[in-house]
Amino acid sequence: MQSFPNDAICPRQEIASLPVYNAGISAVAARRVSGLQDIAALASNENPYGSSPAVSAALASLVPSRYSDPASAALRHVLSEKLGTSSDQIVCGNGSEELIAALCRAYLQKGDSVLTVSPCFGLHEIEPMAAGAQVLKVPMTPALDYDVDGLADELTRRPKIVFVSSPSNPVGRALSRRALDRLLDAVHPTTLFVLDEAYFEMIDSSYPDGLQVLGGRSDLSWVVLRTFSKAYGLAGLRAGYGIASDERIARAMRSCMTPFNVNAAAQAAAIAALRDEAWMLQTTAKIRHDRNILADRLAGLGVRVVPSQTNFLFLDLATQAAPVASALIKKGIVVKPWMEAGYRHFLRVSIGTTGDNERFATEVGHILGLA
Ligand code: PMP
C-alpha cells in the first residue's frame, strides 16, 4: 500500500473544518437502493419539463474543439438587453454557485464577518467560511418568514457581505417590497448586499423584482444573482449570472474565476433559452399550479407546509426528516431532508411532474402514518 508523508501537506485550517455541501443522492444511487428504474428526482429543484427545444437546436451546432468565449460576451449582451443594464455590470459563472465563491474570494479575508439567514442555502455559509470569514445566521421567525428586524439589527454591525436568498432556499418564502426596502435601509455602504434570486422566475407578480429595486439604490453596493438551472431547465450545463451595482464589482468577481469558466455549450444553451421565454413562462406557470395542488394535498394530510414562492415546498414533518427521506428512496423518490441544526425535522421537496408529486404525497402519507 502506498504511504503518505504524514501531515506535511495540510489544507488551510478553514478548509479542514468546513461543512460539506449536502448535494443529496443521485438518480443512479437511488436506482441502486430502490431497485426501481423510474425515479422521482425531487431533491434539487430542477425543471421537470427539461429545457426549451431551442436549446437542443443550439447544442446541435456547437463546435466542441474551440474554447468558449472567456467573456461570455454574447450571453452578457442578450442579458443586458433583457435586463436594461450595462453588460459591464454583468458577470457569468459556471452556475451561480461559482459567483458566490468568486464574491467571497474577491472580498473576504480572515476575520471578516458575513451575515445570512438560517436555514440557508449551504454555499452562503460554506464559501464565506472557506475564505476565513465568520458567518452569523439570523434564524427565520417561528412562522418561517424572514426576521427582518433581526437582520436589520445585525446589519448595523456592518458585515462585509450579506447573503439573502429571495425566494429563500430552503424555506420558499420571498421578501415583500416592504421587507426588502427595510433591509436595504439598514445596509451600510461598506456592506455588500447580495440578493440571490435563483428562483426569481417562480415568484408571483405581487413580489418585487429585486434587480429593479436595487437598481434604484445608487447609495449601496449590491449584486443580484440569478441562474439558468431552475426555471430555464439547464442545471446540468451550469450557467448563472450576477448583476453588480458597479462594473468594478463585476470585474473583481471575474478576476476570481477561471478564464473559460462558462463552457461553450452552457453559453449557447443559455442564449437559446433566453430567446424562448414563452417556454419558460409556460412551464413555470404549470409548476406553480402543481405546487399549490401538492401544498393543499399535504396540508389535507395534516403536514405543516410553509407557503412557497418557488418550485419546492418546505415541510415540517414533526419528526426527524432523514429516516423519512431514506424510506422514500426505497420507493424511488429522492427528496432533501434538511440537515441544518434546528431544522432537521424539515424536508424539502421539489415540484416535479404531476404524477411524481402525487407519488410523493401518497408515499410520504404512508410513511408518516397519515394516510
Ligand atoms: N442559490 C440558491 C439559492 C440555490 O438554491 C442554488 C441551487 N440550488 C444556487 C444558488 C446555485 O445554483 P446554480 O449554481 O445551479 O446556478
For the chain, the structural domain boundaries read: 13-50+278-367, 53-274
Distance from Cα 243 to the centre of ligand 1, integer Å:
15
Mean pLDDT, rounded, for 57-62: 96
- 46 CB within 6 A, ligand 1: no
Q: Residue 301 Cα, ligand 1 centroid: separation in angstroms?
A: 30
Taking the centre of ligand 1 as the mean of its atom positions, its distance from the CA of residue 6, in whole angstroms, is: 37
The per-residue pLDDT for 4 is: 59
Ligand 1 near 229 CB (within 6 A): yes
Around 57, how many Cα atoms within 13 Å sit in the side-chain half-sphere? 8
Whether CATH 3.40.640.10 fits 53-274 = yes
Is the pLDDT at 1 greater than 70, yes or no?
no
pLDDT for 22 equals: 81
Question: In this predicted structure, what is the pLDDT of residue 6?
Answer: 66
Q: Which pLDDT score, from 0 to 100, does residue 25 have?
A: 87
Residue nearest to atom 8 of ligand 1 (CA): 44
Strand pairing class (336-337; 346-350): antiparallel
Question: Is 164 within 8 Å of 196 (Cβ atoms)?
Answer: yes
Q: What is the mean pLDDT of residues 329-355?
A: 96
Does residue 241 line the site of ligand 1, with CB under 6 A? no
* Calpha distance 325→16 (Å, rounded): 28
With a 6 A CB cut-off, is 94 part of the ligand 1 pocket?
no
Q: Is the CB of 261 under 6 A from ligand 1?
A: no
- In angstroms, what is the span from residue 329 Cα to ligand 1's centroid? 23
> Distance, CA 4 to ligand 1 centroid (Å)?
36
Confidence class for position 237, pLDDT limits 50, 70, 90: very high
Give the number of the atom of ligand 1 that is nearest the alpha carbon of residue 98.
14
Domain 13-50+278-367 homologous superfamily, CATH: Aspartate Aminotransferase, domain 1 (3.90.1150.10)
* Nearest in space to 81 (alpha carbons), one of 216, 243, 247: 243
- Point out the ligand 1 atom lying closest to the alpha carbon of residue 240: 16
Nearest-angstrom CA–CA distance, 24 and 336: 7
Distance 208 CA to ligand 1 centre (A): 20
Neighbours of 67 (CB within 10 A): 9
What's 218's DSSP letter? Answer: T
Query: Tens of pLDDT along 131-144?
Result: 999 999 999 999 99
CB of 121 closer than 6 angstroms to any ligand 1 atom:
yes
To the question of pTM greater than 0.75 for the whole model, the response is yes
The C-alpha angle with vertex 275 and arms to 270 and 281, in degrees rounded to 5, equals 95
Q: Is the pLDDT of residue 194 over 70?
A: yes
In short, whether 227's Cβ falls inside 6 Å of ligand 1 is yes
Q: How far is the CA of 149 from the centre of ligand 1 (A)?
A: 26
Taking 90 as the threshold, does the pLDDT of residue 51 lie above it? yes
Any ligand 1 atom below 6 A from CB of 235:
yes
Residue 173 burial by CB count (10 A; 0-12/13-18/19+): exposed, middle or buried? buried
